[in-house]
A and B are shown apart, each in its own frame.
Chain A
């Protein structure tokens, strides 16, 4: 597990437990725990409070440097092409998640209409299938991202087995959380910012 994998996990999670870091970095909780304890001795990560670690300002700086270094190794043109395909899925994904939360702009989804909810879950499952080849293409370009397909699978498994918190709940590895983090990784590896992306008219 690379230094970047573990630091990125701590950065994304805000207050990061070993279990959460393990899922993001794709390692066992005990390995993640060991690495976190090591890092907690450095200036990059502050020590655990209630077994949760936090990244420091220096840690964020280090993440930025490591991502820049990784970006230099990645085939940028190929990744940019994958990203433009990702953007199309991104818009569709957001529409699905918004439909899950809101029936129309004024009506929050009260989740009393089972048929409606099933349809949204169906749309998400269908997108997942279509999105898989693109995701594999992305992972092939940036090896550090290889936990993502498994994380998406896991979220979808939980959703299909009836745990709908795995659609969009923050802090847990919900489908939306994983998507949000993947999007951030792509923007970072392409050396862009969300502000630039918004200015270019892409969904953020």
Chain B
């Protein structure tokens, strides 16, 4: 079987359809609204290369048939300017590897379809922008300009993804990692939905719980009349997702229910991309959310309390790096709330330091030698500033971004550094005692009290530590070691354990 429809099979093999299609299939089987999609399997990849880099006739016939079924299911026509169907074409290798072609979005656009979209959405600029992004992405992936014929675009894009499996980079990657050349990649073809169709349309991102604070409430952004990468690209300012609760309460409710369901399926906090087309919700992607170290601890506890994971699993949800980050001294929340921000800039090397601001290298070196903590503030850095950067506890510059020389050198030194604080910063800061939080890019007045997160200050950490001590059976073990040992012991005890509810 060359073509597999997602959502029509209770179980698919990752090896055959790839990881992305595998998880889309799970979502569809759970009854969640996902735009219709089918997959050309990894077997086709082998046939493609065996046939000398073309799709076998039988496969292209199956592809054409699948496409017309896709048109029926979504009620649009490929290349039809009045009701245009656009598709995304993605690779579905079991793991992403360098050299592999990844994604072509908005495939199916030509000049007529672009005009059709402009009419349909009433936004000619956005249609032109979509067409331009498509052409650029297509040229990057396929290596030439798209044909005006949508079917040709599809054949070429599919061929480019399969072809990239045997690019020299991908081959050397597989050699290096011991992946068989025969494994092949799948190709996913999925109908695209329009977030820019009307006032009941838009696009957004929803986290099933807050990945910054660890709060249990869902958290997200919503961009009315937004399409595709508009939210991620930062092109427009999105609204809080709660806005959707006021404008389209049913859709909002459905979205939150979907988030809960996805969380149950994955047993982890989800980062969900969604689009609403004329009042209909579509889920585009769901994956485990990246989270801050603080949130990781709170979420591990709250996932257990929601009955999704066992205590042992909760202990496995935090890494050594996250524990180390929590144990690093930081500005206490109380003092941060009262602190005066003197300047703000861009993070070049995260970290915290306090010291007296010195604006020239010689006195930075001299004062550091007499054991004074100094923060070196410079308009920008020259090679002759390096000695001062080494002597300083932190570095601040007026101009320059995160790739500037100051940024590069401070990262090599591991010295907290904030760049691009703006002209006049030196004059304002010179001689003052300050606290630099290079993680947030903020510079505070005075030496703020720094302390690691304690069990007393963080109920979630206290809970998790208590579970860990129970598992280890030794109340005396200290913090970083405690969690490591609890995980090791936990490996053998999983079966005795149960989620809270």
Which A positions have Cβ atoms within 8 angstroms of B? 11-15, 55, 57, 94-95, 97-98, 101-102, 105, 108, 114-115, 119, 168-171, 176-177, 180-181, 183-184, 194-195, 198-199, 203-204
Contact = CB atoms under 8 A, between A and B. Distances in A.
B173 A12 contact: no
Nearest to B410: A170
Contact of A102 (B176, B362, B380, B411): B411
A169 B389 CA distance: 13
Interface string B82-113: 00000000000000001000000000000000
Given A101-B411, A203-B404, A180 B380 contact: no
Contact of A181 (B173, B383, B407): B383
A170 B403 contact: no
A169 B409 CA distance: 7
B386 interface: yes
B399 A168 contact: no
Contact of A94 (B386, B404, B411, B412): B404
Interface string B357-381: 0000110010000000000000110
24 contacts: A14-B365, A14-B387, A14-B388, A57-B362, A97-B408, A101-B408, A101-B411, A105-B402, A115-B98, A168-B409, A169-B412, A170-B389, A170-B412, A170-B413, A171-B390, A176-B408, A176-B409, A176-B412, A184-B382, A194-B382, A198-B380, A198-B399, A198-B400, A203-B401
A204 B384 contact: no
A54 to B, nearest CB: 8
Given A97-B408, A180-B383, A203 B403 contact: yes
A180 B219 CA distance: 44
Contacts, number: 80
Contact of A98 (B365, B382, B400, B403): B403
B330 interface: no
Sorted nearest first, the 3 A-B pairs with minimum C-beta distance are: A14-B387, A94-B403, A198-B399
Given A12-B383, A204-B405, A101 B412 contact: yes
Nearest to A182: B383
Contacts of B387: 13-15
- Chain B: interface residue count, which band? 20 to 34
A203 B406 CA distance: 12
B405 A180 contact: yes
B400 A204 contact: yes
B402 A98 contact: yes
B455 to A, nearest CB: 27
B246 interface: no
B492 interface: no
A177 B382 CA distance: 11
A119 B382 CA distance: 29
B390 A170 contact: yes
Query: SS class of chain A's interface: helix, strand, loop or mixed?
Result: helix
A170 B404 contact: no
Interface in B326-382: 347, 361-362, 365, 379-380, 382
B380 A98 contact: no
Contacts of A119: 98
B379 A98 contact: no
A155 to B, nearest CB: 14
A101 B104 CA distance: 30
A34 B347 CA distance: 43
Contacts of A105: 347, 402
A43 to B, nearest CB: 15
Contacts of A14: 361, 365, 384, 386-388
Contacts of A97: 403, 408
A115 B399 contact: no
Nearest to B409: A170
A178 B227 CA distance: 45
Interface string B170-199: 000100110000000000000000000000
Nearest to B383: A12
A198 B380 CA distance: 9
* Residue of B177, B407, B412 most packed against chain A (CB within 10 A): B412
A177 B362 CA distance: 20
B110 to A, nearest CB: 34
Interface string B46-83: 00000000000000000000000000000000000000
* Residue of A108, A119, A204 most packed against chain B (CB within 10 A): A204
B182 to A, nearest CB: 21
A94 B400 CA distance: 12
A173 to B, nearest CB: 12
A142 B497 CA distance: 74
A105 B384 CA distance: 27
A168 B386 CA distance: 12
Contacts of A203: 401, 403-404
Given A12-B384, A14-B384, A14-B386, 15 more contacts: A12-B383, A14-B361, A57-B362, A94-B403, A94-B408, A98-B407, A105-B347, A119-B98, A170-B389, A171-B390, A176-B409, A177-B383, A194-B379, A203-B401, A203-B403
Contacts of A184: 382-383
Contacts of A15: 387
A180 B406 CA distance: 10
A108 B324 CA distance: 15
Interface string B474-493: 00000000000000000000
A144 B400 CA distance: 28
Nearest to A102: B411
A195 B399 contact: yes
Contacts of A169: 412
A183 B177 CA distance: 39
Contact of B173 (A11, A115, A176): A115
A45 to B, nearest CB: 13
Nearest to B97: A115
B359 to A, nearest CB: 14
B403 A194 contact: no
